[in-house]
Structure 1
Amino acid sequence: MLVPAINQPLTGEKNMRNTLKASLQTLGALSLALAAPLLSAATLQVTDEQGSPLATVMVTQLPATTSATPMDDHGYPVPGKTHQSAVETTRFTNVAGQAQFSDGSADETVKYRLRKPGYYDVNLLDQTSAANQSVVMKELATAEEVTAAKASNLWLSAMDFDGDRELKKHFQLNCAFCHQQASSFMRTERSPEQWLTIIDRMNGYGARVADDDRQLLAEKLSSGYRTLRENGDAIPDARPWDKSLDSLEITEWPIGDAFSQMHDFILHPNGMVYVGDNLQDRIYEVDPETGEYSVYVVPSEEGMPLGGFLGNRFKTFPKLANYYGVHSFAVSPSDGHIFITPSMQQSLIEFDPVSKEFTIHEMAEGYYPHTIRADDQDRIWFTLAVSSQIGMLDRNKGEFKFYNLPARSLKEWVIIKSLPLIFAFDPSERPEPKVDRQSTGVPMPYGIDVAPDGTVWFARLYGNDIGFINPDDDTVTMIKTPFDGPRRMRVDADNNVWIVAFQDSQLVKYEPKTKKFVHYDMPVVNELPYSLNVDRERGVVWVNGNQSDTVFSFDISSEQWMIYPLPRKRTFTRDIEIAEDGSVYTSNSHFPSWQIEDGQPTLIRISPRKNDSVIEVNESESMVSSVE
C-alpha cells in the first residue's frame, strides 16, 4: 500500500521502520550528495556533539524584526485596515541532518530556533536568510532538565489521584478544556487552599467540578504534583518524532495577543481564513498566501454588558471585550456568508465577507449557542449548550426552529425549564443549582455535524450520549455512548460518525448501519482530544491535541496514526479545517494565551512539501476494539 508522507503511520512500528529506514537512507545519501551545489535554498546542517547528523530537529524560521502595527484604543490592530503578520515557517531535518528554506531578499534577516526532545534549544539571531548554517546541538545534561522539558500529557499520565480513576476523569473533563493541565504553569507548588481558590474561580468561568469533589480534588492536586516533582522518573518518555516529518512544512501566522483566545475559525471558499477571538469579539481575516490580515469587530450596542446573559465571569481578566463571545463558524453554501455562534447572546451573527457587514439574528429562546454547521439546503444548525437544544435557522424561510432534547431526570427537566427565570436574575444574585458529577441540569449539547445523507448528528458532553435529527420529519433519536464525554464530532463520506472521547483519550467511530461503536486509542498517553475533522476526499480523520503540543491524523482505511509536533510549547488546539490540497489548519487557542510559550496565539497550517515522495509502508496492527 502507498501512503503519502504526510499521513505516514505510527502504529505497527517494527515492520514499518524497516521499510522507512531503507527508503530514508537512500534519500539521505542523495541529500548529502546534492547538498554542496544547492544554491536555491538556505541549508541548515545539524549535528550532535559527536558530529553525527541529527534527524527530526524542528527548525523554525522567523523574521528578525517586525514592523509596528497601528493599534486601536483597545490595543488591537486597527479594524478594516490591511496588516502584515510576521509569518513563521517550521521544517524538520532529514536523515542527513539538513533542513532547507527558500532564499529571501538579499537584505532580509531572519532568526532560527532549533528544537529536539532531549536537547537544548538553539537560537540563531540576525541571520541572512540565504546563508547556510552548521549547528551543533547538545543533549540535556541532567535528569531534572529532561523531566521538566516533558509535555503536559506525560506529567498528567503519571497523576493517579491515589487510584481514584473516576475522580481523575471528572477532573480532566472539567479542568482541561481551556488550558494544559499539567504544564509548568500548573504543576508548581500550591497548598490545598490555593488549589481550592483556583477551582472555585474556574467553576465561575464555566467548569463544573462537583461541589462534593472540590476539597478532595484540591488535596490530590497539591500532593500529586509535589510527588511527581520529587520523583521525575515516574513520568514516562514521549514517542520519538517520526523521520517522515521532513516531508512537511508548518506555517504560523501570529494574530491577537496574550489576552486573546483564537477559539474557532473557518477556511472560506474565497481562500481566506476567518478566525474568531472569543474574548475580544474580533474576526481576523487572514490571507494564507501573503500573511496579510484585516480585523473586524462585532458591533455591540451601547450599554450592552460584558459577558452577555452570563454576566462578566472574567472580572480579574486584564483586557476584555466579550459582549458576544464569538465561538464557532459555518459558511452558507448559497452566498458565502459566515454564520457565527455568539455564546453569550441569544442570537446568531452573520458576516458578509464581501461588504464586511454584520447582521444579528435575534432568537426568542435558547441559551449558549455553541458549535455550528450549514447543510446543503442553506439551513444553519447549531447546538445550544446550556438549554439542551438544537437550533436551526432556515435562511430560505427566515425563521428559527428549536429541538428540545430529552432530560435525563425529572430534576434536570425542572432545571432546564427554569432557565428563563434563573437568567432573569442579576448575574450576581442568580440561584445556582448544586453541581454533581453527572452535571444534572446541564447535559450540554456540544459538537454537531451534517452527514452527506442530510442527517444532523450531535453530541452531549455531560449527557454521555449522541443523537441525530431527521430534517424531513423533525424526529430526534438519542443513542447512549459506551464512553464518557463525547465532545465534538464529524461525519465521513460513508456517513459514519467520528467522535472524540475527551477524558477517555480515544477516537471513536459510530456506524449507523451496524449501530456499533469502534474505539481507537490515541497514539500518545493521556491526550484529551478536543475536536476533529474528516477529510472526506482522502479518508483521513484529523484530531486536535491539547496536552501534548501535537495534532494527529488517522487513516480510516489502514487504521494508522501519525503525530505532528507543533512549534510552540503549551499549544492547545480546538478546531481543524482542511484545504483542497490536503493541508490542514488549526489555531493555538490556549486560554489564557499568556501561558503559550511566548504568549502569542497563532493560526497554524500543516502542509506537505511540494514534490514529496510517496513511501511504501506495511500494514500495521491497529489499537481498536468494537462495542455493540
Structure 2
Amino acid sequence: MRNAVVALALTAAALPAQALQVSIRDAAGAPLPLAMVTLKAERPLRAAGDDNGYPRERTEQRISPEITAFAGADGRVQVDYPEAVPLNLRVRVPGYKDLSQAGVSADATLELRLTAETDPAALAAQQPANAWFAALDFGGDASLKKTAMEQCSFCHQQGSFFMRRERSEEEWQQVMERMIGYGARPSSEHQPKLIEVFQKGYTDLRQHPEKVLRAKPWETHLAGAQVREWPIGDPFSQMHDLLLHSSGKIYVGDNLQDRLWEIDPGTGQTVVYKTPVDEGDEIGGLFSGRLKTYPKLETTAGIHSFAESPKDGHIFITPSLQQRLFEFDPVSKTFTTHYFDDGLYPHTVRIDAQDNVWFTLALSNQVGRFDRQTKSFRTYGLPARSTKEEVGLALNGVVRKLMNWGMPMHWLPVDKRVTGMPLPYGIDVAPDGRVWFARLHADSIGVIDPKTDSVQVIDTPFQGPRRLRADAVGDVWIAAFPEAKIVRYRPADGSFKDYPLPTALNGAETPYSLNVDRARQQVWVTGTASDNLMRLDIASGQWRTFPMPRKVTFTRDIEIAADGRVFTSNGAFPSWQIEDGQPTLIELKPGQ
C-alpha cells in the first residue's frame, strides 16, 4: 500500500541481468532483516485462457515467474528478474503494513520504509491459518481437535480468512454437509460440536483479535533463500501432485479440470495436455454425484499422483475417479490407458527398480501393482479392522450408486475412526525394494515384500498417517497429519520416533506430505496450515522453516532436484481460497 511507505529514492541503476536492489527500513531508519520481497511482471506472460479459461492443449506458451527473496541482516536484498520489464513489487514483514509499488524498473535501486502495523485486527489477519485454529477452544477434547485438523483441514486450511468469516450455525451446517459430500468424514458425534466450536470460536477471535496466536519468527537462514512461482490454472483448479522429470521439466496435474501441465522451470515454457476421456465417461467419473455443486468442473478422471519409470521415462498417473492408470510418453506426448476392474480410487503411485507400478486404492482398502512387462494388474487386499468394516467395504459400490443418484452423504453415520474406510493413502518403495504404505483412517502403516507377496500391517502410536517416504538407509518417514509432527519408523527394531514440527502452534499444524532427500539425508515437509515448507536434517535434528509468499498455501507433494532445489504446488481445494485465488507451481532454492 502506497500510503504505508515512504520511498526515499528510486533511481535506475544499469546493473547487469536486471538486478533490482532494495533496502528496507522501518520508520526510524533501522534495517528490517528478512523482509520478504516479491516481484511480478506488471504485464506478465500468462498461459492463454481460450479453452474454458485454460490454454488450448498442446500449444506452447510462456509464463513469467514471480520471484521472492529475503533481505539480509542489513535490510538489503538484490533480486535478478529474468525479463527487462516493469515490475510490481511487494514487501512483507510480519508486524508491518505490506508495501506495494507498481511500474518498478527491473534494474532499479530502491530505499523503502515500512510503517508498523498497530491495529490488532490487522495484526491478527497477518497470521497463518493455524494461528487462528490454535486459539479455538475445544473444551479440552483432544479427540475433537484432532478430528477438526484431520477432517476439516483435509483439502484446505482451517482458520484461513475464508473459513473464519462470519457464519451462522445454519451456514456452518451447510458447510459441514458440503464438506462431507465432497468426501470428508468427521464422526457423527463430532459434527454438531465442530459447528459450535467454529461458529462461536471464530466470532470470538474476530471480536478479540489479540487472542490469535503468533507464528514463529522468521530466521536468519532465509537471507539466502529464494522462491519462484509460476501461476497455472485458475481459482477453480486444484493443482494436486507434481513430478520433477529426469528431463528437468515439471509435470503438475489439475485434479478438477483433468489437465496435465508441463513446465520448463528454466524458461517458463508451458504446454497443457488434456487427459484421455472414454466414450460414456461422466463428469465426476465413477463418483458423478460427488462434486455436482462445484461451480466449474471438467474432470472425468481426477488425475492425482505421478511417478516416472526408471526404464524409459514414461510418466504414470493415477486417475482417482476411474479404474485406470494413465501412461504418458513425454517424448511423443501420447497417452496410453491401462484398465483394471478390481479396486476403487487409485491414489498415490510409485515405481520400483523393476519397473513395476505400485499404487494405493484408497476406497477399496487395497494396494495395486501393474506389471509393465506382462501388462497385468494384481491387487493386494489389506486387512479390515473389524467385521463392521468388512461389511462397509463390501457395500462401497452400493453407497457410491446412492451418492450418484443424489443421496446426501451426511445421512450416513460415521464413527470416530471412520470404520469402513481405512483409506490407504501414501506409498513408497524403499531401497531394498519393499513397498511401504500408510492408511490414514486406520492409524497404521504396512509393507509388501514383492519377493514373497507377503503383507504386514503395523499399527502406529499416532493418528492419521497420511503420506510416507523411505530414506537412504530404509527408515520410513511418515506425515502424522492431525498431530503436527512427522514420525520415523525404523524397521530394524520396530521403533517409532516423533519429530514435532517447528511451525506448530498449540499442537496445530497439518503436514500433508513429505519427501526425503536421500543424498543429503534431509526430510522436507509441507506445512499446509502455516504457509511454510520445512526441512529436517536427520543427523543433527535441526529444523529450518521457509515461509511461502502467498497466504493459504496448501502444498501437496514435494519433489527434490539433484542440486537441492525443492518443487511443490499450491493445491488448495478450492483454489479461490488462496490469497489472490491463484494456484502456482513453486520452486524453493533453500540457500544454506
TM-score > 0.5 by shorter chain? yes
> Is 1:514 the equivalent of 2:493?
yes
Match of 1:99?
A: 77
> Is 1:47 the equivalent of 2:29?
no
Deviation string, structure 1 residues 182-220 (Cα, Å, up to 9, x no partner): 011111221212111110110000000222322222112
Deviation string, structure 1 residues 10-57 (Cα, Å, up to 9, x no partner): xxxxxxxxxxxxxxxxxxxxxxxxxx9976632101111011111100
1:293-372 equivalences in 2 (<5 Å): 293-372=270-349
Root mean square deviation, CA, Å: 1.7
- 1:603: how far off? 0.3
Deviation string, structure 1 residues 398-449 (Cα, Å, up to 9, x no partner): 1001000000000111121233444455712669652111111100000100
Q: Is the 8 A contact 2:156 2:554 kept in 1?
A: yes
TM-score with structure 1 setting the length: 0.89
Deviation string, structure 1 residues 54-94 (Cα, Å, up to 9, x no partner): 11000011101134644343221011011111211110001
Structure 2 residue corresponding to 1:566, chosen from 548, 553, 556: 548
> Is 1:548 the equivalent of 2:530?
yes
1:64-463 equivalences in 2 (<5 Å): 64-67=42-45, 69-102=47-80, 108-423=85-400, 427-428=404-405, 433-463=412-442
Q: Is the 8 A contact 1:423 1:430 kept in 2?
A: no
For the structure 1 residues 320 and 143, does the alpha-carbon distance in structure 2 shift closer, same or farther, using more than 3 Å as the test? same
Match of 1:620?
A: none
> Is 1:531 the equivalent of 2:531?
no
Q: Is the 8 A contact 1:104 1:130 kept in 2?
A: no
Match of 1:578?
A: 560
Match of 2:41?
A: 63
Return the structure number with greater relative CO, CA threshold 8 A, min gap 6.
1
C-alpha distance in 2, partners of 1:423/1:261? 23
Match of 1:81, SS state, is coil
Structure 2: 5+ residue runs without aligned partners? 1-12
Match of 2:530, SS state, is coil
- 1:318: how far off? 2.0
The one-letter code sitting in structure 2 at the alignment partner of 1:362 is: Y
Q: Is the 8 A contact 1:593 1:601 kept in 2?
A: yes
Structure 2 residue corresponding to 1:500, chosen from 473, 479, 483: 479
Q: Is the 8 A contact 2:46 2:62 kept in 1?
A: no
Match of 1:306, SS state, is coil
Q: Is the 8 A contact 1:327 1:371 kept in 2?
A: yes
The one-letter code sitting in structure 1 at the alignment partner of 2:343 is: G
- 1:240: how far off? 1.2
Higher deviation after alignment, 476-485 or 164-173: 164-173
Q: Is the 8 A contact 2:225 2:590 kept in 1?
A: yes
C-alpha distance in 1, partners of 2:510/2:97? 27
The one-letter code sitting in structure 1 at the alignment partner of 2:485 is: Q
C-alpha distance in 2, partners of 1:534/1:295? 29
> Is 1:601 the equivalent of 2:573?
no
- Equivalent pairs, count: 574
Match of 1:163, SS state, is coil
TM-score with structure 2 setting the length: 0.94
C-alpha distance in 2, partners of 1:42/1:110? 10
Match of 2:543, SS state, is strand
- 1:238: how far off? 1.4
Match of 2:189, SS state, is helix
Match of 1:59, SS state, is strand
C-alpha distance in 2, partners of 1:237/1:420? 46
Percent identity between matched residues is: 48
Match of 1:387, SS state, is coil
Match of 2:90, SS state, is strand
Match of 1:9?
A: none
For the structure 1 residues 46 and 357, does the alpha-carbon distance in structure 2 shift closer, same or farther, using more than 3 Å as the test? same
Match of 1:219, SS state, is helix
- 1:460: how far off? 0.3
C-alpha distance in 2, partners of 1:284/1:337? 15
C-alpha distance in 1, partners of 2:570/2:398? 37
